[in-house]
């Protein structure tokens, strides 16, 4: 993986590491509260497809710098330059959409590890992940109404999918921040843990998913997305997902391990 080429101008603002089957993408702009720049949105759009094809990556964890924050959102300082006119705003929006969709469409599980606040684009990226774990002092908000921006349709749809239309209205129409307890109650996050424990919990979840059958996880993500968008017909693509699982080495290993009363080795089965 040629990280310098993938990260481009975002080198130094994004860090990619891997331990076992878990890859971590970290925002590394603590001086800017991990604000997401135009270059970082672009880099995410290039990076996620490469990690998708990397057979050694089972799960991706997205995080800010240790101790937080997760991210203050889009780098507003760029709005007076890169987003100063309608054409610039359009191109900037396309970069955001590409980065967000690359994360949403990533076929393997993703976990947002949220320490501190996740505001604007920070919440947007956390919501793009499959699972979200935060600390009790975390705060969330989507704030285009404070900037005179109309939140993109794809991003709005994802927010509605996660919290439902009623709370999507509250979040977008007020622009106010949510505390961790409210975020948990409305489904914006899956778990809230005490400060100092969120990193361990997020990586424990990642390790759990890395130990599961990849064919099941990828198929499950695809079918969840279909169901969330009202696509309930079992068409040829769905049947192909079933067939892929039935004929996989992971299925054979899962059945054999169950009968032998041992833990399955799905990674070994794929080798």
Among residues 59, 91, 76, 70, the alpha carbon closest in space to that of 27 is found at 70
pLDDT tens digits for range 6-25? 888 888 899 999 998 999 99
d(CA 234, CA 150): 36
Write out the two tokens for 226: 């279909």
The model's confidence at residue 77, banded by pLDDT at 50, 70 and 90, is confident
**Cβ proximity of 58 and 21 under 8 Å:** yes
At residue 232, the 3 state secondary structure works out as: coil
Query: What domains does the chain contain, in order, with CATH numbers?
Result: 3-210 (3.90.226.10), 214-270 (1.10.12.10)
In this predicted model, what pLDDT tens digit does every residue of 152-183 receive, in sequence order?
999 999 999 999 999 999 999 999 999 999 99
pLDDT at residue 215, as a whole number: 97
Give the β-pairing of 110-114 and 178-179. Answer: unpaired
In what order do the strands lie in the sheet containing 178-179?
A: 117-119, 139-141, 178-179
pLDDT beyond 90 at 71 = yes
pLDDT tops 80 at residue 2: no
- For residue 83, pLDDT beyond 90: no
Please report where in the chains the tokens 């509250």 appear, as a residue: 170
pLDDT cut 90: percent of the chain above it = 86
With beta carbons less than 8 A apart as the criterion, state whether 83 and 73 touch: no
Q: Are strands 139-141 and 131-135 parallel, antiparallel or unpaired?
A: unpaired
Q: Count of CB atoms within 10 A of residue 181's CB?
A: 12
Instruction: Give φ, ψ of 54 to 5 degrees.
Output: -80, 110
């Amino acid at each position: 993986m040629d990280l310098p080429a993938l990260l481009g101008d975002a080198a130094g603002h994004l860090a990619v590491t891997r331990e076992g089957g878990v890859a971590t993408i970290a925002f590394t702009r603590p001086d800017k509260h991990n604000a997401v720049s135009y270059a970082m949105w672009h880099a995410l759009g290039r990076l996620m497809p490469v990690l998708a094809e990397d057979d050694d990556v089972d799960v991706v964890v997205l995080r800010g710098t240790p101790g937080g924050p997760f991210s203050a959102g889009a780098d507003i300082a760029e709005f007076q330059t890169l987003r100063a006119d309608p054409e610039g705003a359009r191109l900037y929006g396309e970069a955001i959409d590409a980065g967000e969709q690359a994360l949403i469409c990533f076929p393997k599980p993703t976990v947002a590890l949220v320490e501190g606040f996740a505001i604007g684009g920070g919440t947007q990226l956390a919501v793009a992940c499959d699972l979200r774990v935060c600390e009790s002092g975390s705060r969330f908000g989507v704030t285009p109404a404070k900037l005179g921006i109309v939140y993109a349709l794809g991003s709005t749809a994802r927010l509605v999918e996660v919290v439902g239309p009623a709370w999507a209205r509250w979040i977008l129409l007020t622009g106010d921040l949510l505390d961790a307890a409210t975020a948990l109650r409305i489904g914006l996050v899956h778990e809230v843990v005490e400060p100092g424990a969120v990193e361990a919990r997020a990586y424990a979840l990642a390790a759990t998913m890395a130990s599961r059958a990849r064919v099941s996880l990828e198929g499950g993500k695809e079918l969840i997305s279909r169901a969330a968008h009202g696509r309930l017909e079992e068409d040829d693509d769905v049947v192909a997902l079933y067939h892929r699982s039935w004929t996989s080495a992971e299925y054979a290993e899962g059945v054999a391990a169950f009968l032998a009363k041992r833990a399955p080795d799905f990674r070994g089965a794929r080798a």
